[in-house]
Amino acid sequence: MPGVFRSSNPLNLLLVFFIGMLLRYHSFVDPVTPGLSAIEGFLYRWIVQGLVRFAGEGSILFPLISYLLVFLQAVLLNAFVNQHRMFGRTQYLVAFCYVLVTALRPEWWQFSPALLVNTALIPVWNNLVNLNKSQQAKSLLFSTGIIIGLSSFIYFPALAFFLLLLVSVLILRPFRLPEWINGFMGLLMPYYFLFSISFLTDQWDRERFLPFPAWSMLHLQRDLWTFLSLLTLFFPLAMGLYHLQNAIGRLAIHSRKAWNLVFYYLILSILVPLPAASQDLSYFFLAAPTLALLQANLFFYPKKRFLPNLLVLLLLAFILFLNLRHN
């Protein structure tokens, strides 16, 4: 099956769309209204409360919006990877891997802050990769800072992704102080308007607008399904890293720098949810784009197709069992 998506036929996106719906069909059968916790940003709360007022509790609108956002992210991620020639040629494996990875955990089928933040951060990653060849780096950094600032209104710890912007400037650009200032100004701009409006309207509430997370240790359930879920995430990741290591030397310098940013993105997306993760793995959805990118190497580079084909069949079977288990 992965061989189908190695081609440049755009009809593959239609196939990706229907496969993705099948892999999370239980979320449509039994819709779940997202819960709200202290760590979520005020903008996310407004969105959820507005959708509940519009469609009611347990509406199919939540899983429908969730999947449409996942598919949009898959399309954007695949387009950006092709644009930067990160696999050397046009393919649709990344889009397929993304709908596959995002179906490996039941929490990732649901509407969540991490889902919305990913929709903003995938274009941010693309903007940062474009830094080394952009003639308008200052405006690019300013707009990227704004997007990260607005993302923190949905999930406050997303502010930490500003570190990705700083790392990108260090790697891809010579030091120019005005560019750094523009990035910081963009990040602060949403907060400037938020604080100004809340102060003028006498609605300031620090806990509401700056919900600092309380530290809690991550405790995973010790059962077979949790073990298999982690195995299906990390085994393809390790194999993908192995094949990427062998192939990256043949890629253009710009493509190699794009892969470098992927690794920094992966580290941040795993570390950011840790302070308040507890038993909730939904926030680790932030890592899904990088997991899909790295996993795609396993299906793209090997000349012998038996192992990739077998692995895809096992992953598909596991995800379908997850759906049956939650019926």
Q: Is residue 21 part of a domain?
A: yes
Is pLDDT at 35 greater than 80 in this prediction? Answer: no
Maximal C-alpha separation, the chain: 65
Q: Average the pLDDT over each of 145-149, 165-169, 248-252 and give the range with the smallest value.
A: 248-252
| Measured CA distances, 8 to 5, 82, 237 (Å) | 8, 10, 24
Mean model confidence pLDDT for the chain: 84
> Lowest-pLDDT range, 9-23, 110-124, 294-308?
294-308
- Is 151 a domain residue? no
pLDDT value for 327: 62
- Greatest mean pLDDT among 28-42, 121-135, 149-163, 219-233 lies in 149-163
| Number of structural domains found in the chain | 1
Range with the poorest average pLDDT among 7-11, 17-21, 219-223, 295-299: 219-223
90 occurs within a structural domain: yes
pLDDT in tens, 193-227: 888 887 777 776 666 666 666 555 565 566 666 67
- Residue 286 belongs to a domain: yes
Percent above pLDDT 70 for the chain: 89
Nearest to 110 by CA among 281, 292, 316, 233: 281
**Under a CB-based contact definition with an 8 Å cutoff, are residues 186 and 143 in contact?**
yes
Q: Which range has the worst mean pLDDT, 67-76, 169-178, 203-212?
A: 203-212
| Residue 182 lies inside a defined structural domain of this protein | no
Mention every residue, 6+ apart, whose C-beta is less than 8 A from residue 116: 44, 47, 69, 151, 154, 155
Domain for residue 201, yes or no? no
For 224, the 3-state DSSP assignment is helix
Residue 290 — pLDDT band, cuts 50, 70, 90?
very high
Does 145 map to a domain?
Answer: no
| 35-46 average pLDDT score | 80
Is 65 within a domain?
Answer: yes
3-state secondary structure of 201: coil
* pTM for the structure as a whole: 0.91
Query: With the CA atoms of 106, 108, 112 and 115 taken in that order, what torsion angle do they form, in degrees rounded to the nearest 10?
Result: -170
pLDDT the model gives residue 217: 56
Q: Domain residues for 47?
A: 2-119+216-325
Mean pLDDT for 105-123 is 91
